[in-house]
Amino acid sequence: MTAQELADELEVSVRTVYRDVESLQIAGVPVYSDRGSLGGYRLVDGYRTRLTGLTGDEADALFLAGVPGPAAELGLGSEISSRVASLRGRFHLDAPTWFHGQESVPYLSAVASAVWEDRRLQIRYMRWKGETTRSVNPLGLILKSGMWYLVAEGGGQVRIYRVSRILSLVELGENFVRDPSFDLASFWAEGARDFEQTIFQDEAVLRLSAKGRAELALRVSEPAARAALESAGEPDDAGWSRTTLPIVSVDDARLELLQLGAEVIVEEPAELRLAIAETARSIGCLYG
């Protein structure tokens, strides 16, 4: 397109077009000009931006936030690698928790582009109840313990979607208007607090040895371990102390507490105590 055609389309002056094209070229966008009667400004075929154009400070901030690997999935690989080569020799940040690898997230890059450019998406998503298809406005992405989450609005509600559970994705070819009052960090923090408060449906009364108290945080979730250790009574002469542990369910607690072996004694509820005893007997029979 010629400068005059661009000016007419964008309702700006030709001088503004010249200035803006120069700014795009400086920013690394492959816009070039052809001279002659059929000439004009052109964009290299196939070019598409995602989250390019980071400043050096922004690239450093992303690296120090722990996302040098995930940054590549977002389409930020070149921006990160060119800036933080010297940092990688001194710092290494590993986002996933122990014993958990990085999830497969084939649609992460497409979701990131839609978040950045405010483009509406239709996603086919696997919930625990089964598949569902929704049209959403993608508001932001969260990386938590190696897992990516999409925060998106649809049907008047803002929901959280685990990106690895997106089965397919279609761009709807239209943009949405972002609510300027929406704060991604605040929304996530509030959602995380609500999740911690509602996930624990019951509690178990335990006796823990000194070793059991030391290992509890390695075997159960951090909020549950913190609550149990804060409520623990004074150790007796043998080093055992009584405490209350928040639990999601009897079966989840059974699997978690079995990892502590003989360093924990379940007193209540009776259902959990019986479940652990039966499992222990079954293991004894296998090795007896």
What are the Cα distances from residue 142, in Å, to 139, 171, 173? 10, 20, 24
Percent of residues, the chain, with pLDDT higher than 70 = 81
pLDDT tens readout for residues 212-223: 999 998 888 888
Residue 143, pLDDT score: 82
At position 229, the amino acid (one-letter code) is: L
Q: What mean pLDDT is reported for the chain?
A: 83
pTM score over 0.85: no
User: DSSP character for 128?
Assistant: T
Both tokens of 102, joined, read 């990085």
Q: Looking at residue 139, what is its pLDDT?
A: 94
Contact (Cβ atoms closer than 8 angstroms) between residue 237 and residue 253: no
Over residues 18-39, mean pLDDT = 81
pLDDT confidence band for 232 (50 / 70 / 90): very high
- Write the pLDDT tens digit of every residue in 60-94: 555 545 554 555 555 555 545 554 555 555 555 66
259: helix, strand or coil: coil
The C-alpha atoms of residue 113 and residue 48 are separated, in whole angstroms, by 10
Give the separation between CA 40 and CA 30, rounded to whole angstroms. Answer: 14
- In sign, the C-alpha dihedral spanning 91, 95, 97, 99 is negative
pLDDT at 201 over 90: no
pLDDT at 54: 60
Residue 218 contacts by C-beta under 8 Å, 6 or more apart in sequence?
none
Q: In this predicted structure, what is the pLDDT of residue 276? A: 94
pLDDT digits (tens, 9 = 90+) for 113-167: 899 889 999 999 998 778 999 999 999 998 887 788 999 999 889 999 999 999 9
Which option is the CATH number for 56-195: 2.40.50.100, 2.30.30.100, 2.40.320.10, 3.40.50.720?
A: 2.30.30.100
Query: For residue 209, what is the DSSP state?
Result: -
Reported as type and span, the H/E element at residue 114 is helix 108-117
Q: Please state the rounded mean pLDDT for residues 183-200.
A: 83
Say whether 182 sits in a helix, a strand or coil: coil
Q: Give DSSP secondary structure letters for 12-73.
A: S-HHHHHHHHHHHHHTT--EEEE-STT-EEEE-TT---SS----HHHHHHHHHTT-HHHHHH
Other C-beta atoms within 10 Å of 23: how many? Answer: 11
Domain ranges of the chain: 3-43, 56-195, 200-287
